Structure 1
Amino acid sequence: MPEQPGPEQRDSVPRTVDPRVTDVALALAMALVVAVVIAADPDAVRQTGTGAYLFAAGFGALVLLRRRAPRTVLVVTVLAVFVYYTFQFPPIGMALPAIAALYSAAELRHTGWAVGGGAVLVAVSTYFRVVGDDTEARLTPYDLVTNLALAAAAIALGVAVRLRREARVHEARAAEQRLQTERLRIARDLHDVVGHNLSVIALHSSVAAEAVGRDDDGARRALGHVREATSGTLRELRSTVRVLRGPVGAASVGAVPDPDSPAPTGLAGVDTLVRSARAAGLTVDVTLDVPPGRLDGAIDAAAYRIVQESLTNVLRHAAATRVTVSARVRGDRLALSVSDDGRGASAGLAPGSGLTGMRERAALLGGSLSTGDPDGGGFVVTADLPLRLEE
């Protein structure tokens, strides 16, 4: 059994009209249109009585079953059109009564049946009007084109509605998958940060154990480091777990960086990225005005990922010669910027879609990320992140 959406997911799903209301409205419209066409015939009262209008009601009633049995509704509708004309009721066209059936079959993934049904209607209509003896009923190019156009339009509309609906479902699933991937990445980065802090705790614990009785001041300092590392680790664990347990929001279409890429080391690892970029021929200016210990591990890792992805996009897409990387603390926020002098997105060379994943990660952590073409040319990525995750 498929997993049911949680309360947050249900609340985020757009409200739509009840399908039953749509079906009733479509059924009434079909019956009314056919009835109006019948009544418009000058001999309708004399020729029809109530029989033709009963057929009109029947065509509408069939629409109510279109979701449960679209192929059956299509076949019965086509046969009903033929039976209608055997009673010599006023002409209502061959395709008009079947428009809803053709549309429904195409919308519900039975396009072949819809094309076949439309072809049968047009072919039978053409045959009998060509070989018939009634000169007034002779086929004209206008009649043929009208029937073909009505059938083709109904089928095309059904296919278009189905494809649009499937595209929305695919986009929603892709967006959720991207956010889940980002959460997995955040969890992995947290694992690395916690592992580092535990190594620090173990190291200073050993120092304290060896210093007890010989260097009590050294032991106290080592225990202070242990206390500080323990407190920071616990706080970061609580904060990151809260982020990971948060609701999945809507996201734009895009991709995230490869989850198998090496784990980041934070802004301290930017020098390694810069060396690689310089080796590729770029001139890279770096300004990192972030005192040690000011960033939580998850924030530090996200900042590293943003710089990494931005530099990768510059190398792949920008045709730039110079890049500027800047990270500054402003109050309780981290202002991060990566700009280049390349061709920019306006030239049709948009950066890699990994930045979409970074935008989603920034949002999960309580920040934001934007991209654009500055007035002086090139491309710039700016991120605004909190220094600490809220507890």
Structure 2
Amino acid sequence: MTTGRQPLTTLVQGVVQRVRDVDRRRPLLWDAALTGFFVVVALVDAGGGWRNIALNTEVPGWLVLTLSLGFTVPLLWRRRHPVRVLTAMAPVILVSGWTGAMLQAGLIVHIVVFNIALRLPLRTLGWAAALVTVPNVMAAIRYPRGSWEQQIIPSLWTFTLVVLLGVVVRSRKEYTASLVERAHRLEIERDQQARLAAAAERTRIAREMHDIIGHNLSVITGLADGGAYAAAKSPERAAQALDAIASTSRQALTELRRLLDVLREESPGTADPGAAGPDRAPQPALTDVDRLVEGVRAAGLPVRLTVLGAPDGLPAGRQLAAYRVIQEALTNTLKHAGPAATATVDIGYGDGVTVTVTDTGHGGPPRAQGRGLTGMRERTALYDGTLDAGPLPQPPGGWRVHLHIPKDPTP
């Protein structure tokens, strides 16, 4: 049960955070306010309070006032030039110890020591320690009072504790800065990874749509040309071509709809629980090559298919890659090989899958290194496979695509 009151630690942290914000926005204002506070305190002590702990109460008042200002006014530059401030305070510290005034304002020097430990190399603290110790040694020699330990050890302990405090604060600030820098780097790396993943996904989508649309449109084009040729002499053959065009079109639409449904992003909690999800039918595999070949034959390209073995244990991703390579090779044959061409598809299973697609290719323009061949190489590279594609020697000529995808990834 909460009472609505904030814990004391929360209140303290809030006050400290507000002070830090003011210090960050207006550092000079904060330094001036802190310096003014110590000037006032030192002047109040110079009014007579300093005699309570002085080793020599006969020090002139004007000298006490001067020493008090010498201890406090340089604090205005303690953060920007701590070494110079400590150097400026050095004669004031020595005079205070030599005269026996031993002003309490001399403790302000530890604020400068703290800033040195916080911002500068620690080797700078060596002469600072000597500067703090020498006045006490002089005072102990000129005005002996009690043992040496009572006059010197307390100042050394104070110096040590201030240095340790500065080192701790410095280490914490550096650790926090390193965490912030690491978080910034991780954020940059996350954005870079997201951009790389988006680019890879766009490439994959482009490859899939190229294979789906390119192949089916090539088949539809072949069927339409054959139907137009047969329309005048054999209306039945023309009707069969139209039926095949419709079937191929529906198949292409189904594959595209499946691809787009999977890519569609649904926000968590906004999707209708009762709505049907996207079609999760599996992607084509090597067992579907028979149907692929039948569609190509219906488009007018004679294809001979030979299969040795079975794709047992071959991962689905590797089967899809091999299927798409066969599909793209037959599509290129439909588009470029000419009207009298024939094709051969040989599939063998062993340590993975090996596919060879050849055609006679006596007609048609030379085949350019287009997007289709690039897509085949990209698919093959995903699974550490090898792909060779190029023309066969004349005669008889033609084109050959040879693919090998291992069953397991290369170590």
| TM-score of the two chains, using structure 2 as the length reference | 0.47
Higher Cα Rg, which structure: 2
| TM-score of the two chains, using structure 1 as the length reference | 0.49
Larger RCO (CA within 8 A; separation ≥ 6) = 1
